[in-house]
Structure 1
């Protein structure tokens, strides 16, 4: 299940509009209309992006009166960051070994 969620998170983050939405939500929760403002697309198009992000576990949507504020879900972002960190560490170690080899 974890790998499936990780795949969904990376697929969701592959889109620049969804990454921009994540960046905006890093500053705090926002409504769909607030999230749609900077984009040249319709509110239904933004809602589709939000459904993808929500399905990937990257955001959640609440309900306050007639608004649906969106907020980041840091747990799934932490999983993505941990996966990337593991591979970054592997590559850094490989480059360090290559650097040592080239110095000799």
Structure 2
């Protein structure tokens, strides 16, 4: 499973739709990579799995591909009642 560790946000940076890029570790190891929100969305649609992992707390959650009512493709964590594993709580880069 691919593991998202950091996010880059556009202004105002208050929702998952403002995520522009992510930094992630690919499944099976290898070097850290960067991808756009749209690319991660497409990969999830193709069947690849992503999760968050907070580098300090270790909190983790599954990441899902979503589409806003306005048609914006974005990624968000699957609701599990914990905010500490949310994409928006990950460090920025």
Which structure shows the higher helix fraction? Answer: 1
TM-score, with structure 1 as normaliser:
0.30
Which structure shows the higher strand fraction? Answer: 2
